[in-house]
Amino acid sequence: HCLPTLKNAMALEEEKLHRKMGEQMFKSVVNLIVDLENELLLYKGIKREALKIFEAEDCMVHVIDENLAQKVIDMYITSQRSSRKDEPKMDINEINLPKNCTITNIVAKKGQIINCKHTPRDPYAHPDIVRIEDGVWILRNSLTFPIIVCDRVKGVVKVFNKITAPHFTVYDEENATGFGLACGLVMQSARHYRRVEEKYFYRQMVDCMLLRISKIQECNQISYKIPECVPMVDNLLKLKFNPYDMIGEDLVPYVMLIFYKLNILPRFKIDEDTFGSFICGIFKSIPNLPFHNELHSFNAFHFIVLLTSFTNIQNYCKLTLTELLMLLIAALAQDMDWRGATTPFQFIRGTSLAGLYTSPGMVEKRLVISQLIRLLTMDDYNIFKFMSSEHYKLCLELLYDMIIATDITHHVLKKPAISKMVYNGFKSDNIEHRKLLHGLLMNIAQLSIFTKSWATYEEASKRIVQEFFRQGNLKHIQKGLDYGQIDPIPERVASMHIEFIDNYCLPAFELLENFVPLAKKCCLRLMEFRYNWVIIRDENMSKRLKELEEELDKMEKDKESESSSSDEDEEEED
CATH code (residue 37): 3.30.450.40
**Which pTM was predicted?**
0.58
DSSP per position, 288-351: --SSSSHHHHHHHHHHHHHHHHSSSHHHHHT--HHHHHHHHHHHHHTTTT--S--HHHHHHHT-
Q: What is the mean pLDDT of residues 232-240?
A: 72
% of the chain at pLDDT higher than 90? 10
Instruction: Please indicate, yes or no, whether residues 182 and 298 belong to a single structural domain of this protein.
Output: no
Check pLDDT > 80 for residue 388: yes
Range 273-278 contact pairs with CB under 8 angstroms and sequence separation of 24 or more: 273/221, 273/224, 273/225, 274/380, 274/381, 274/382, 274/383, 274/385, 275/383, 276/219, 276/221, 276/224, 276/225, 276/252, 277/219, 277/221, 277/224, 277/380, 277/381, 278/375, 278/376, 278/381, 278/382, 278/383
Give the range with max mean pLDDT: 81-95, 115-129, 153-167, 338-352.
Answer: 153-167
- 58-105 confidence digits (pLDDT tens): 888 877 654 444 444 444 333 333 333 343 343 434 444 444 556 777
Beta carbons within 8 Å of 132's beta carbon, 6+ residues apart: 78, 80, 89, 138
Q: What is the mean pLDDT of residues 247-258?
A: 83
Please state which of the ranges 28-37, 246-255, 503-512, 540-549 shows the lowest mean pLDDT. 28-37
For residues 54 and 176, what is the distance between their CA atoms, to the nearest angstrom? 8
Please state which of the ranges 109-118, 129-138, 382-391, 438-447 shows the lowest mean pLDDT. 129-138
Residue 31: the pLDDT is: 60
Tell me the catalytic residues: 292
Check pLDDT > 50 for residue 318: yes
Instruction: Please indicate, yes or no, whether residues 182 and 233 belong to a single structural domain of this protein.
Output: no
Q: What is the mean pLDDT of residues 155-168?
A: 84
Residue 253: pLDDT band (50, 70, 90) is: confident
Residue 37: pLDDT band (50, 70, 90) is: low
Residue 23: the pLDDT is: 59
- Tell me what the pLDDT averaged over the chain comes to: 73
3-state helix, strand, coil in the chain (%, to 5): 65, 10, 30
Residue 335 annotated as binding site: yes
Residue 281: pLDDT band (50, 70, 90) is: confident
Check pLDDT > 50 for residue 471: yes
451 or 230, which is more confident: 451
Instruction: Please indicate, yes or no, whether residues 144 and 223 belong to a single structural domain of this protein.
Output: no
Instruction: Please indicate, yes or no, whether residues 383 and 528 belong to a single structural domain of this protein.
Output: yes
For residues 69 and 156, what is the distance between their CA atoms, to the nearest angstrom? 12
Give the range with max mean pLDDT: 29-43, 258-272, 521-535.
Answer: 521-535
Residue 136: the pLDDT is: 47
152 DSSP β-pair partners: 149
Q: Judge whether 266 lies within some domain.
A: yes
Q: Judge whether 411 lies within some domain.
A: yes
Residue 359: the pLDDT is: 44
- For 520, phi then psi, to 5°, come to -65, -40
Strand, helix or coil at 374? helix
Check pLDDT > 80 for residue 430: yes
Range 92-97 contact pairs with CB under 8 angstroms and sequence separation of 24 or more: 93/40, 94/40, 95/71, 96/69, 96/70, 96/71, 96/72, 97/69, 97/70, 97/71, 97/72, 97/126, 97/129
Residue 557: the pLDDT is: 80
Q: What is the mean pLDDT of residues 257-282?
A: 85
For residues 104 and 319, what is the distance between their CA atoms, to the nearest angstrom? 71
- The total number of residues written for the chain in this structure: 574
- For 81, phi then psi, to 5°, come to -70, -25
Q: How many domains does the chain have?
A: 2
Residue 535: the pLDDT is: 92
Check pLDDT > 80 for residue 506: yes
Alpha carbon of residue 320 to chain centroid: 28
* Ramachandran assignment for 342, one of left (phi > 0), alpha (psi -120 to 50 degrees), beta (any other): beta
Residue 487 annotated as binding site: no
Residue 276: the pLDDT is: 86
Check pLDDT > 90 for residue 559: no
Among residues 169, 199, 229, the one where a domain terminates is 199
Burial (CB count within 10 angstroms: exposed 0-12, middle 13-18, buried 19+), residue 275: buried
H or E stretch including 155?
strand 152-162
Instruction: Please indicate, yes or no, whether residues 252 and 380 belong to a single structural domain of this protein.
Output: yes
114 DSSP β-pair partners: 144
Give the strand pairing for 56-64 and 152-162: antiparallel
Check pLDDT > 90 for residue 261: no
For residues 430 and 484, what is the distance between their CA atoms, to the nearest angstrom? 51
Q: Judge whether 567 lies within some domain.
A: no
CATH number assigned to the domain comprising residue 330: 1.10.1300.10
Q: Judge whether 570 lies within some domain.
A: no
Please state which of the ranges 147-161, 188-202, 214-228, 230-244 shows the lowest mean pLDDT. 214-228
Q: Judge whether 10 lies within some domain.
A: no
372 or 474, which is more confident: 372
530 or 376, which is more confident: 530
Q: Judge whether 67 lies within some domain.
A: yes
Instruction: Please indicate, yes or no, whether residues 226 and 107 belong to a single structural domain of this protein.
Output: no
Instruction: Please indicate, yes or no, whether residues 237 and 128 belong to a single structural domain of this protein.
Output: no
Check pLDDT > 80 for residue 186: no
For residues 158 and 337, what is the distance between their CA atoms, to the nearest angstrom? 58
For residues 522 and 505, what is the distance between their CA atoms, to the nearest angstrom? 9
Q: Judge whether 152 lies within some domain.
A: yes
Contact assessment for residue 508 and residue 419, using Cβ atoms and an 8 Å cutoff: no
Domain extent for 41: 16-199
Give me the helices (H) in 121-243, please. 170-214
Check pLDDT > 70 for residue 137: no
Residue 212: the pLDDT is: 45
Q: Judge whether 572 lies within some domain.
A: no
Identify the DSSP state of 505.
I
Instruction: Please indicate, yes or no, whether residues 193 and 244 belong to a single structural domain of this protein.
Output: no
Give the range with max mean pLDDT: 50-54, 203-207, 503-507.
Answer: 503-507
Instruction: Please indicate, yes or no, whether residues 426 and 280 belong to a single structural domain of this protein.
Output: yes
For residues 382 and 373, what is the distance between their CA atoms, to the nearest angstrom? 9
Beta carbons within 8 Å of 482's beta carbon, 6+ residues apart: 476
Instruction: Please indicate, yes or no, whether residues 328 and 435 belong to a single structural domain of this protein.
Output: yes
> Nearest Cα to 343, choosing from 356, 358, 357, 362?
362
